Amino acid sequence: MDLACLNHGNIQFQTIDFEKIIENVEQTLRQDIHEKKIQIKKGLPRTELQGDKDLLESLILNIMENAVRALALDGKIEVKTYGGEKELILSISDNGMGMKEGELGKVLEPFYWVDKSRSRVYGGAGLGLALSKQICDLHHAEMNMSSKLEMGTKVEIKFTTLLQSVDNSEI
């Protein structure tokens, strides 16, 4: 349903703060983070941009939830921001199970699971990354993923709307 609604493109841009969104996501995932003794390292020198707060929170939740699922006990997640004057890049990486190179292009497809048994264990329908891609598209952001089997996965999202003033009536 979220994917269908996103196709209409009616989103509300406002100034949002990634640091607050990441805190909310950590609270949502706190039980799993605690049970797996996951360390989250943050480097967030830049955090503000123009976007839809709820959609961006959903985006980060999807990515971080996948990272938590991919991690074993005592795993690590690194969340950082960087970029030039007219861009902000959000990077979320983990040292989890990773993926084979051929899987990367498929994970953005709806209903695709790298490990088919994970859907039974963790729930879900394989829509998280497809939804994340739609959210990025609506924000004119570019999502790139890299992964190495048994080494982890990195998701980088390049936003270029952070300094733009957006008139919601034009959307």
Environment class of residue 30 by beta-carbon count within 10 Å: exposed (0-12), middle (13-18) or buried (19+)? exposed
**Maximum average pLDDT range among 12-16, 28-32, 84-88:** 28-32
Q: Could you give the CA distance from residue 51 to residue 61 in angstroms, rounded to a whole number?
A: 16
Domain residue limits, the chain: 2-163
For tokens 């970029």, name the residue: 83
State the Cα–Cα distance between residues 103 and 9, nearest whole angstrom.
28
H/E stretch holding 76: strand 76-82
| pLDDT at residue number 162 | 56
Q: Give the pLDDT confidence of 101-144 residue by residue, as tens digits.
A: 776 665 555 444 444 444 444 444 445 687 888 899 889 999 99
CA 22 to chain centre: 10
pTM summary value? 0.80
Stronger pLDDT, 14 or 114, i.e. the higher one: 14
Q: Residue 69 corresponds to which amino acid? A: R
Residue 125 corresponds to which tokens in the numbers above? 């329908």
Q: What is the CATH number of domain 2-163?
A: 3.30.565.10
Closest by alpha carbon to 94, among 18, 146, 143, 136? 146
**Which ranges of the chain would DSSP assign to H, the alpha helix?**
2-6, 18-28, 30-35, 53-70, 118-122, 128-138
Question: Average pLDDT, whole number, for the chain?
Answer: 80
Residue 164 in contact with residue 143, Cβ under 8 Å?
no
49: left (phi over 0), alpha (psi -120 to 50) or beta: beta
pLDDT score of 1: 43
Joined together, the tokens standing for residue 23 give: 């805190």
The span from the CA of 106 to the CA of 70, in Å, is 17
Identify the residue with better confidence: 103 or 7: 103
